Chains A and B, each alone.
Chain A
Amino acid sequence: MGLIKTEKLIHEYIKRDENGDEIGCIRAVDGVDMDVERGQFISILGSNGSGKSTFASHLNAILFPTEGSVWVDGKDTKDPANVWDVRETAGMVFQNPDNQIIGQIVEEDVGFGPENMGIPTKEIWERVEESLKAVGMWEYRKHSPGRLSGGQKQRVSIAGVIAMHPKCIVFDEPTAMLDPSGRREVIRAARALNDVEKVTIILITHYMDEVIYSDKVFVMDKGKIVMSGTPGEIFMQRDKLKEYKLDVPQVTSLAYELRDRGIDVPADVLSPEELIKSLNTIYST
Chain B
Amino acid sequence: MIIELKDVNYIYDKDSTMSAVALNDINLQIKEGVFYALIGHTGSGKSTLIQHMNGLIRPTSGEVLYKGVSVRDRQMDMRELRSRVGLVFQYPEHQLFETTVYEDVAFGPKNLKLDREEIDTRVREALTLTGVDESLWQYSPFELSGGQKRRVAIAGVLAMKPELLILDEPTAGLDPAGRNDLLNVLKRLHDTEGMTMILVSHSMEDVAGYAERLIVMNKGHIEYEDTPSEVFRHADRLREMGLSVPQVTDVLARLKAAGWPVDDGVITVSGAADEIVRALKEKRQDPQI
Q: Are A263 and B277 in contact (CB under 8 A)?
A: yes
A276 to B254, CA, bound (A): 8
Q: Are A246 and B176 in contact (CB under 8 A)?
A: yes
| Chain B residues near A177 (CB-CB < 8 A) | 172-173
Stretch of B51-59, B221-229, B243-251 at the chain-chain interface: B243-251
Stretch of A107-115, A128-136, A192-200, A251-259 at the chain-chain interface: A251-259
**B91 to A, closest residue via Cβ:** A177
| Chain B residues near A280 (CB-CB < 8 A) | 258
**Contact bitstring A237-269, B, C-beta under 8 A = 1, else 0:** 000001001110111011001100101000000
CB of A231 within 8 Å of the partner chain: no
A263 to B274, CA, bound (A): 11
Taking beta carbons and an 8 Å cutoff, which residues of A are in contact with B? 46-49, 95, 149-151, 173, 176-183, 206, 208-209, 242, 245-247, 249-251, 253-254, 257-258, 261, 263, 272, 275-276, 279-280, 282-283
Q: Which 4 A-B pairs have the closest CB atoms?
A: A245-B177, A181-B242, A250-B247, A47-B175
Q: Are A181 and B145 in contact (CB under 8 A)?
A: no
Known: A206-B176, A257-B273, A263-B277. 7 other contacts (CB 8 A): A48-B173, A177-B172, A180-B204, A254-B247, A254-B269, A272-B247, A280-B258
Instruction: Please report the number of residue pairs spanning A and B whose Cβ atoms sit closer than 8 angstroms.
Output: 105
Question: A48-B146, A263-B277 known; A253 and B41 CB under 8 Å?
Answer: no
| Chain B residues near A249 (CB-CB < 8 A) | 247
Q: Are A48 and B178 in contact (CB under 8 A)?
A: yes
A149 to B42, CA, bound (A): 6
| Chain A residues near B42 (CB-CB < 8 A) | 149-151, 178-179, 182
**A50 to B, closest residue via Cβ:** B175
| Chain A residues near B250 (CB-CB < 8 A) | 272
Q: Are B173 and A95 in contact (CB under 8 A)?
A: yes
Bin the interface of chain B by size.
Answer: 35 or more
| Chain A residues near B277 (CB-CB < 8 A) | 258, 261, 263
Whole-angstrom distance between the Cβ of B177 and the nearest chain A Cβ: 3
| Chain A residues near B40 (CB-CB < 8 A) | 179
Q: Are A254 and B248 in contact (CB under 8 A)?
A: yes
CB of B255 within 8 Å of the partner chain: yes
CB of B174 within 8 Å of the partner chain: yes
| Chain B residues near A151 (CB-CB < 8 A) | 42
Choose one: A48, A257, A261; the contact of B175 (CB below 8 Å): A48
A177 to B172, CA, bound (A): 7
CB of B136 within 8 Å of the partner chain: no
Q: Are A272 and B173 in contact (CB under 8 A)?
A: no
Question: A180-B243, A206-B176 known; A254 and B273 CB under 8 Å?
Answer: yes
**A282 to B, closest residue via Cβ:** B280
CB<8 Å pairs between A and B, sample of 9: A47-B175, A48-B145, A48-B178, A95-B173, A179-B41, A179-B242, A249-B247, A250-B205, A258-B273
Choose one: B147, B246, B269; the contact of A257 (CB below 8 Å): B269
Whole-angstrom distance between the Cβ of A28 and the nearest chain B Cβ: 12
Q: Are B251 and A251 in contact (CB under 8 A)?
A: yes
Question: A49-B145, A181-B242 known; A176 and B173 CB under 8 Å?
Answer: yes
Whole-angstrom distance between the Cβ of A229 and the nearest chain B Cβ: 19
